[in-house]
Structure 1
């Protein structure tokens, strides 16, 4: 009887702390003249976004109100990714040549250029941080190798990874700057990158795995990868990839695959997301969200089955780093959120 009562108490505790999410995305704001692909949620209240026309947005009340900023001198640039540490500090990347990385420490009132690269063909795709000090930015191939730079001081300075240590790429293999999530923290030591185009792969340092996702043309391939338990030393075994064909967003054939062995083998969902998806995010160990230009899908079984919950298109979704809310952002300054029940 005592063993039964202990088991019942444990089950009750697990059920009471499990996160469940609503089946609809709440629209917070829209209408600002920017297409948002950069999104970083510090917690359930502080969230930053970045996009076209040199625009950055910030909310400190969970998206109820927004402050919109046009970065002086960068009014025509596209900020495809952003990393925020709190309400004062954030980093943005201006993707196209010349490529720039800028940082603010005063809530966006002023921005300092902390990196510049005028190499022809430069195009930064995404940025990710392990913690408040160590970060990585990745870009399309230069001279047959993907571009990578690293920071170890919170993004205040950046150094290019030497050319010979960058991953080699095939002709027509690149990355999509669609949501800032084609590079992710894999565990406490490594990052993982996904490529697309004529060839689509998962790259982990010197280990490269082919993806079964739709590929073979410039508009096809993996757009985003998410990693479960990436903050732990033993994390990174379970990952999920989404993508498809940007020009055929309703095509749901081979748009999503998941792995439980660190990318060596991949499985397709029984019910896939309903078309092209530019971003995927773990909301919990078993709950995932994926978004694209024709809507949002949710999975509550680790990516095996997906339900189409919203027909409003979004480019990117990110869970609060210190919270439970999942935020979404897309074209026309659109921002939404999905809160845990």
Structure 2
């Protein structure tokens, strides 16, 4: 602040709301009269900025007032503007003329950069997959901690990611939750001031299990158009093609073995095990047949022929029970059934009568969930009477009901549940699907932009649907309302069929010219979360969460982790029963009383459990510095101490806080805290190394609360 020949007298100090420091004083020297000066330390620097002249002295001052010593001015001061705590007033004395003091008064406002947060990732266009870890990044200024949230509906509602983390970190490793959507945004705000906020510039995508980028081409070994796909288990898969080729895999679809060629038009296949399968054909002759192999395709046996009919599908309920359907031959739809693994077949009873002009549906126009079966039909060109979807809840034996569809020629079917969402594709209507919300009892038109659809598949018990068609593969996350093109290898534009296993973990898609794609994805969580929030009051944490749909949901374990160390683990503290299967929104809540806990940070998550034992975790919620239910100033420890002791205190609400130390005469000897604090628990150290032994007092003040305790320094 100056050379040794300067004298700095009667300094006054003040700190503004942004932690900028100002010190004013009178300065004189061997070559200057006593003048008014100040120095400062902005909050973003580490040292004083040097003496700055406010008013120069105009003469010497020497007055003893009858004594033997010269009296200097001692009326300097600094204080905050009550109306603006970022403005400091300074009052400083200087020599106005010989032996006459003057006072300079003025204001000092530090130039500061406006507080802000700026999201830098995700910022639009990203595709982040469920269960992967991605970095949310940001820039900020004059913000201590940030709160991160995300939206799955373009900002209509927001879900928590983390309640508060240091803004200076600039990055947060986010485990992507199971909330698939193409309309996602991230919002980052000042944890203490929600008006300081920024949002992703454009939506990004959270990929549902299996959505996008997971398809890879595998060599099928055929050049025929692949219509038939049957996934027996994780290892055994059968496929069949229009040219009659049949292929099988015993290693999960990585390699394919020839399984012969039982006949032209092998549009459907049902696999029993690695060696046994049944193929239904629709040859150009019109005499559809069912062929069976028990030796992996080395030989095939014709076990049934429907004269004048074209088989469209074959399917197995289990290793013994199978069914198949062909065009009507006797006025009723030709539905046959086997109860001995496909060795013999017979017509079923209760076969529905076929309307006039029925031409049935297209290849593989059927779907089954358990004993609930559907098949689609279509009429000749210009006929609408036969455009129907038939349904049985008693397997192939019926009875059958039907629902009319609005478009010509039902070509593909898929359902999420037996009584819930379903879709129908039409071979003679582009950019149009039929949509059902009641298990196929009724259908309404659903406009699309994906062209002509040849194959449909639901990931069971979810709103996730795949469509195979002339324009490639598409995926919908909302029961077919909106669609996104899947990224597939070059040359896979014309797709015909798509199938997933029941758990939704393995999928295959067949296309023209022998194209075969494989997609391995993580399991789908059968609960669609719309919110998971936490709030804190009086030492209690209130958790609430909501779901849009649930399927097979037994319930939720509420899990808590006291964040005391890096190896802290989640423990289950409660269980909330779920709603089973429902398409109605559900709301849940739980209150965790932490008044007896001393942890300053607590994390929560939900473990959603199915009735079949499958489970998945929600995103985590972190709560920092949980507010207690009352003010408290603890006794320092150790006490007596030498020279350092710790003082703990807690605040139930946020506010301005001072923690001050006084000597036995009431003179202030240290200020340990003088700032705004959020509600929570705090600890501060007091260093008495520069004080003499004795009794001291420390006082905590916040709002209307005040508490004083005694401490003893013994050296």
TM range (shorter): 0.7 to 0.9
| CA distance in structure 1 between the aligned counterparts of 2:457 and 2:339, rounded to whole angstroms | 25
Summarize deviations over 1:177-203 as a string: whole Å, max 9, x none: 43x2x2222542x42111123331111
Aligned residue number for residue 422 of structure 2? 239
Q: Establish whether residue 45 from structure 1 lines up as the match of residue 231 from structure 2.
A: no
Which residue of 317, 321, 338 maps to 2:519?
Answer: 338
Larger RCO, structures 1/2 (Cα 8 Å, 6+ apart): 1
Aligned residue number for residue 297 of structure 2? 108
Aligned residue number for residue 481 of structure 2? 304
Summarize deviations over 1:235-258 as a string: whole Å, max 9, x none: 33332211242xx7xx31xx2122
The structure-2 alpha-carbon separation of the partners of 1:21 and 1:325, relative to structure 1 and needing over 3 Å to count, comes to same
| CA distance in structure 1 between the aligned counterparts of 2:257 and 2:433, rounded to whole angstroms | 35
Shift in Å at residue 140 of structure 1?
1.0
Q: Where do residues 146-157 of structure 1 align in structure 2 (5 Å cutoff)?
A: 146-157=333-344
Which residue of 222, 240, 244 maps to 2:410?
Answer: 222
Summarize deviations over 1:287-308 as a string: whole Å, max 9, x none: 1101012211101122221112
TM-score (norm 2): 0.40
Q: Which runs of 4+ in 1 moved over 6 A?
A: none
Q: Where do residues 24-39 of structure 1 align in structure 2 (5 Å cutoff)?
A: 24=213, 25-29=215-219, 32-39=222-229
Tell me the secondary structure at the aligned position of residue 217 of structure 2.
Answer: strand
| CA distance in structure 1 between the aligned counterparts of 2:277 and 2:504, rounded to whole angstroms | 18
Shift in Å at residue 80 of structure 1?
0.8
Aligned residue number for residue 4 of structure 1? none
Unaligned runs of 5+ in 2: 1-160, 162-174, 180-206, 392-398, 523-715
The structure-2 alpha-carbon separation of the partners of 1:186 and 1:30, relative to structure 1 and needing over 3 Å to count, comes to closer
Q: Establish whether residue 290 from structure 1 lines up as the match of residue 290 from structure 2.
A: no
Tell me the secondary structure at the aligned position of residue 315 of structure 1.
Answer: strand
Summarize deviations over 1:166-219 as a string: whole Å, max 9, x none: 2222333222343x2x2222542x42111123331111234221112x22xxxx
Summarize deviations over 1:59-110 as a string: whole Å, max 9, x none: 2223322112333xx4x52211001122222111122343221122222222
For the aligned residue pairs, the C-alpha RMSD in angstroms reads: 2.8
| CA distance in structure 1 between the aligned counterparts of 2:290 and 2:251, rounded to whole angstroms | 27
Unaligned runs of 5+ in 1: 1-7, 216-220, 230-234
Instruction: Give yes or no for contact 1:128–1:183 (8 Å, CA) kept in 2.
Output: no
| CA distance in structure 1 between the aligned counterparts of 2:242 and 2:425, rounded to whole angstroms | 23
| CA distance in structure 2 between the aligned counterparts of 1:93 and 1:68, rounded to whole angstroms | 17
Shift in Å at residue 314 of structure 1?
1.3
| CA distance in structure 2 between the aligned counterparts of 1:66 and 1:57, rounded to whole angstroms | 6
| CA distance in structure 1 between the aligned counterparts of 2:178 and 2:420, rounded to whole angstroms | 25
| CA distance in structure 1 between the aligned counterparts of 2:337 and 2:209, rounded to whole angstroms | 36
Summarize deviations over 1:153-176 as a string: whole Å, max 9, x none: 2222110135xx322223332223
Instruction: Give yes or no for contact 2:404–2:443 (8 Å, CA) kept in 1.
Output: no
The structure-2 alpha-carbon separation of the partners of 1:69 and 1:153, relative to structure 1 and needing over 3 Å to count, comes to closer
| CA distance in structure 2 between the aligned counterparts of 1:313 and 1:297, rounded to whole angstroms | 12
Aligned residue number for residue 404 of structure 2? 210
Aligned residue number for residue 3 of structure 1? none
TM-score (norm 1): 0.79
Tell me the secondary structure at the aligned position of residue 332 of structure 1.
Answer: helix
Aligned residue number for residue 23 of structure 1? 212
Aligned residue number for residue 281 of structure 1? 457
Which residue of 238, 245, 261 maps to 2:438?
Answer: 261
Instruction: Give yes or no for contact 2:229–2:237 (8 Å, CA) kept in 1.
Output: yes
Q: Establish whether residue 168 from structure 1 lines up as the match of residue 357 from structure 2.
A: no
Structure whose alpha-carbon radius of gyration is higher: 2
The structure-2 alpha-carbon separation of the partners of 1:78 and 1:326, relative to structure 1 and needing over 3 Å to count, comes to same
Shift in Å at residue 263 of structure 1?
2.3
Q: Where do residues 43-122 of structure 1 align in structure 2 (5 Å cutoff)?
A: 43-71=233-261, 74=262, 77-96=264-283, 97-117=286-306, 119=307, 121-122=308-309
Instruction: Give yes or no for contact 2:275–2:293 (8 Å, CA) kept in 1.
Output: yes
